[in-house]
Amino acid sequence: MKQHIIILALLFSTLLSCGQQKGKQLSQKEVADLAVEMEGGDNSGDLPWRLKLKQPLPFSKGGDWFKDAGLGLFIHWGPASAYYGSPWKMRRPSSKGATTPMVSYEEYYTTSTKKFKAENYAPSLWIEAAKKAGFKYVVLTSKHHDGYTLWPSHHTDFGVQKYLNGKDLIQPYVDAVKENDLKLGFYYSGVDWYLDRDYMSLMKTKKGELNWKGEYVKANTIPSLPLKIIEQKKKIALELMEKYTPDLWWWDSGLPLSLEETAHTYNTDMVFNNRGNVHHKDFKNGPYPGAHYVTPENFHNVQWKYMKKLQEKGIKWEVCMGINLGYGWFYDGSSKDSERIRDLGDIMFAAARVRSWGGNLLLNIKPRPDGTLPEENYKMFERMERWMSHSGISFFNVKGTHFPEHSNVPITTSKDGSIWYIHARPGESKWQKGGFYEHCEPGEPIRIQNIKNVVSVKLLRTGENVSYQFQNDELVIENPDANPDGLHEVFEVKIKVVQ
């Protein structure tokens, strides 16, 4: 492991002196552009931009927990939960080719803040249930793209300070996470469509670009974000870090903040994802805090051809996906899908696939605007808890493998390689030809090649030995049906390790 990378701090001492990194002086406009735009990064080379680790950081001893965490809980909750489930709807056309957004800027900011009341907010119920289900860390949307802060910030007037009489929605969450001995994480958006509104295009149409007032503007006439707003946004982020000292910081677009201004100041063991480094025009020369791991979204890029490269490069990764059905990451009261969840058999097999490739799975839930969680989520947690009680050993403190090169189902192993955990395919599923079940063979026996010295095979749920065939370094086991909870079974294969 290389020595800790020292990233030069960027200090905005004057409006004309914007700092530098790697000897390059950044102009005021360059810093401003980086701090407001949300564009994908560079897809050249052997990895998509979401899987690239720019300015990599080694894990500190106190941050090593992330490597084997396995399962995280993502919580999207805020004003968007009270109004159509996504702030992006004010930036999406109402129909194909339309020149008006799905929701107007004014409508979103007026209505969502009135309806988001959090009157029944009890995060301890969510966190306690998640702990029993096997989750190891939790990430809450402290401030999403709409700019609403869930804590009473002293540096912005858009948040609970104004709309909920200063009620702190972060502290109860922090207390619940710590009481359950989980790792504390915050999602944080560097872009802020409230503070940035006069310096951005809200939506592109065939007629031109619309600003937040619904007026057409020319892109080259939109002024750069003033440095005083960049400074304001930095203060908001640092305030959150200082007040609650999280273990993990989940950027979803970053800010021109150095490592010294963040982790080195507030928590030397803080873990960062890579979205603070690559989400704004690739951040080629920006002063950003670096990253410990990469985090693709859903399963678009979770393919073996990419995951193998991450394994070979020793890059840790996490993939986020939603538990509930429906559009967007937030609760949408206009859709019954927000009350329903995906097939848990699919979710757990997706989790096995992620763990077999050495990644963590960050599963998102959608609390209602009043702070309650749909009952289906609690039922799901209970089913996960039962699965973890007998098969959790195959999920945590394990190593990944080269599935699918030598098997037709995901495999994890003990750290010393003496035990292999075979994650059996759970039967028919609408996802069987999709990303979750890629490389698996419906209706076929489990086949594992290049395996030696098999001693025994048993079913983890029951502890019973099962019959198998083993010859020419190939292990064959009949694929079982799903367990009584509809989730996949796991076989424990003991191997005689020859020194």
Per-residue pLDDT averaged across 467-477, rounded? 96
Q: Three-class SS string for the chain?
A: CCCCCCCCCCCCCCCCCCCEECCEECCHHHHHHHHHCCECCCCCCCCCHHHCCCCECCCCHHHHHHHHCCEEEEECCCHHHHCCCCHHHHCCECCCCCCCECCCHHHHHHHHHHHCCCCCCCHHHHHHHHHHHCCCEEEEEEECCCCCECCCCCCCCCEHHHHCCCCCCHHHHHHHHHHCCCEEEEEECCCCCCCCHHHCCCEECCCCEECCCCCEECHHHCCCCCHHHHHHHHHHHHHHHHHHCCCEEEECCCCCCCCCCCHHHHCCCCEEECHHHHCEHHHCCCCCCCECEECCECCCCCCHHHHHHHHHHCCEEEEEEECECCCCCCCCCCCHHHHCECCHHHHHHHHHHHHHCCCEEEEEECCCCCCCCCHHHHHHHHHHHHHHHHHHHHCCCEECCCCCCCECCCEEEECCCCEEEEECCCCCCCCCCCHHHCCCCCCCCEEEECCCCEEEEEECCCCCECCCEEECCEEEECCCCCCCCCCCCEEEEEECCCC
- Please tell me the least confidently modeled range out of 35-39, 132-136, 315-319: 35-39
d(CA 423, CA 440): 11
Mean pLDDT of the residues in the chain: 87
Q: Which residues contact 322 (CB under 8 A, 6 or more apart)?
A: 298, 329, 342, 363, 364, 366
Local confidence band at 3 (pLDDT 50, 70, 90 cut-offs): very low
pLDDT at 286 (0 to 100): 58
d(CA 270, CA 247): 5
Amino acid residing at 417: G
Per-residue pLDDT averaged across 107-135, rounded? 97
Burial of 240 (0-12, 13-18, 19+ CB in 10 A): buried
d(CA 362, CA 195): 29
Q: Which residues pair with 248 in a beta bridge?
A: 185, 271
Q: Which residues pair with 65 in a beta bridge?
A: none
Domain 20-295 and domain 398-495 have a common topology: no
pLDDT at 31 (0 to 100): 62
Per-residue pLDDT averaged across 58-84, rounded? 95
Amino acid residing at 235: K
Does residue 6 carry a pLDDT above 90? no
d(CA 310, CA 333): 39
d(CA 133, CA 99): 45
Does residue 498 carry a pLDDT above 70? yes
**Residue of 279 and 495 predicted with greater confidence:** 495
Per-residue pLDDT tens digits for 373-404: 999 999 999 999 999 999 999 999 999 998 89
Q: Which residues contact 314 (CB under 8 A, 6 or more apart)?
A: none
Question: CA quadruple 365, 361, 387, 63: dihedral positive or negative?
Answer: negative
Q: What does the domain layout of the chain look like in residue ranges?
A: 20-295, 398-495
CB atoms within 10 A of CB 114: 12
Per-residue pLDDT tens digits for 185-244: 999 999 899 999 998 888 888 888 899 999 998 877 788 888 899 899 999 999 999 999
Alpha-carbon separation of residue 40 from 84, 152, 283, 386, 480 (angstroms):
25, 31, 10, 40, 43
Classify domain 20-295 at the CATH superfamily level: Glycosidases (3.20.20.80)
pLDDT at 433 (0 to 100): 52
pLDDT at 325 (0 to 100): 85
Q: Let me know the angle formed at the C-alpha of 102 by 101 and 104, rounded to the nearest 5 degrees.
A: 60
Chain CA centroid to CA 15, Å: 35
Q: Model's pTM, two decimal places?
A: 0.91
Q: Which two tokens stand for residue 463?
A: 């502890």
Per-residue pLDDT averaged across 432-441, rounded? 62
Does residue 265 carry a pLDDT above 90? no
Amino acid residing at 60: S
436-444 long-range contacts, CB within 8 A, separation 24+: 436/299, 436/346, 436/349, 436/350, 436/353, 437/349, 438/303, 438/304, 438/404, 439/304, 439/403, 439/404, 439/408, 440/404, 440/408, 440/409, 441/408, 443/479, 444/408, 444/479
> Which CATH fold would you assign to the domain 398-495?
Immunoglobulin-like (2.60.40)
Helix pair 344-356, 375-391: axis angle to 10 deg: 50
Does residue 1 carry a pLDDT above 80? no
d(CA 318, CA 330): 20
pLDDT at 431 (0 to 100): 47
- Please tell me the least confidently modeled range out of 50-64, 140-154, 166-180: 50-64
pLDDT at 33 (0 to 100): 61
Alpha-carbon separation of residue 184 from 65, 127, 250 (angstroms):
12, 11, 11
pLDDT at 84 (0 to 100): 79
